Amino acid sequence: MKKRFLYFIILILFLSCELSYGGYLFMQDKDLSEDGIIFSGFDDSLKNATTLIIPEYIYGKKVIGIGNKTENKWDKLKNISNIQEVIFSKPITIIYSNAFSGCYSINSVRLNDGLKTIGNEAFNSTRLENLVIPDSVTSIDNGAFRSCSKLKTIKLSNNLEKIDDNVFYNCSNLTSIELSKSVKTIGDSSFYGCDSLETVIIPDSVTTIDDSAFRYCNKLQSVKLSNNLKIINDYVFYKCYKLKSVDLPDYIKTIGRYSFSECSSLETIYMKNKIEKIENDAFYKSNKIKSLYIYSTIPPNGNGNLPINNELKIYVPSSSLEVYKNHNSWKKYKDYIFAIEE
């Protein structure tokens, strides 16, 4: 009877409390998983460790996740402030929110095949330099790599459908990003403040770019946009100082507020025949715009507060020249409107 009672107590502890194994801490919560356990950090004996190799099994259970759950929220892992390198084992499917957030020493991560989810702020403010995300990953959540100021290159999963909000926010040394053809949505502020990003190619799979996605990308010079976009949302390219030319795709109908505002090097813009609306201040203080081509025979509503300068020329279809000059949104530019040569 006593043995059964002792076994019962051990089982309860295993299911709900923290376990230690060789200095590694683990937890299992019945609300998290019945198939494995979660790595939650180091005990005091390993607090000075510099490499973290997460085992595949502990007490016969798969280690399927990484996270430290306290009072129904996810916190940073315990005693890992000195970790520089992290190597993941194959069974791991999820890195929970904040797992490595603020671990300033981490400069190398080897993510495993089989990983599916990288949680909110999971690697926020780490010192990662290069990143390869395996094709098994289908979800990278809000701010996962936010403020990773040393991050230079990223290879994303080929099965990722959304780059969530703030994922690469303020990754100021990011020089290149390869977007896979599975990506459909680029989230709000996802590349905000990526000061070193010079070129972006957005595949045709992308149908949505949310507000401020490339805001303050100060060195961005070239953008190839998806042919399946219909809206350029607010502030998307705000203060991209090096951007010189923009060729909007065929199906763009709306250009959002401040979307190309204060782009101080912007000189040429091409809008196709589907354009219907240019929101207030879309081109506010982009004072070097010389050539705006609008191929729609129907003048779009709004002019984006397009700055007037001595070199400005607005080109429209010859059949609509007078229509543009007399349209409420464009009549103040009538001396700058010319027919497109055919």
At 326, the pLDDT band (50, 70, 90 cuts) reads very high
Whose structure tokens read 């459908």? 161
pLDDT at 155 over 50: yes
Domains: count for the chain:
1
User: The domain spanning residue 70 has which CATH number?
Assistant: 3.80.10.10
CA distance linking residue 283 with residue 42, whole number of Å:
52
pLDDT at 250 over 50: yes
Q: How many Å from the N-terminal Cα to the C-terminal Cα in the chain?
A: 96
User: Is the residue at 298 inside a domain?
Assistant: no
pLDDT at 8 over 60: no
* Strand 51-53 with 231-232, pairing: unpaired
Residue 43 sits in which domain range? 36-289
- 7 φ/ψ angles, rounded to the nearest 5 degrees: -60, -40
User: Is the residue at 109 inside a domain?
Assistant: yes
- The residue-averaged pLDDT of 206-219 equals 97
CA distance linking residue 296 with residue 319, whole number of Å:
10
- The residue-averaged pLDDT of 202-228 equals 97
pLDDT at 16 over 80: no
At 268-288, the pLDDT tens digits run 999 999 999 999 999 999 999
What pLDDT does 2 receive?
Answer: 42
pLDDT at 61 over 70: yes
User: Is the residue at 5 inside a domain?
Assistant: no
Higher pLDDT, 46 or 194: 194
User: Is the residue at 237 inside a domain?
Assistant: yes
Q: What percent of the chain has pLDDT over 90?
A: 78
Nearest Cα neighbor of 169 from 226, 124, 138, 232 is 124
CA distance linking residue 23 with residue 54, whole number of Å:
12
CA distance linking residue 168 with residue 174, whole number of Å:
9
User: Is the residue at 241 inside a domain?
Assistant: yes
Higher pLDDT, 29 or 193: 193
User: Which 3 state secondary structure label does DSSP give 185?
Assistant: strand
- In contact, 48 and 82? CB cutoff 8 Å: yes
Nearest Cα neighbor of 133 from 106, 108, 155, 162 is 155
User: Is the residue at 187 inside a domain?
Assistant: yes
CA distance linking residue 27 with residue 71, whole number of Å:
14
CA angle 43, 47, 48 (to 5 degrees): 155
Averaged pLDDT score across all residues of the chain: 91
- The residue-averaged pLDDT of 330-339 equals 97
- DSSP-derived letter for residue 78 is B
What pLDDT does 201 receive?
Answer: 94
What pLDDT does 33 receive?
Answer: 53
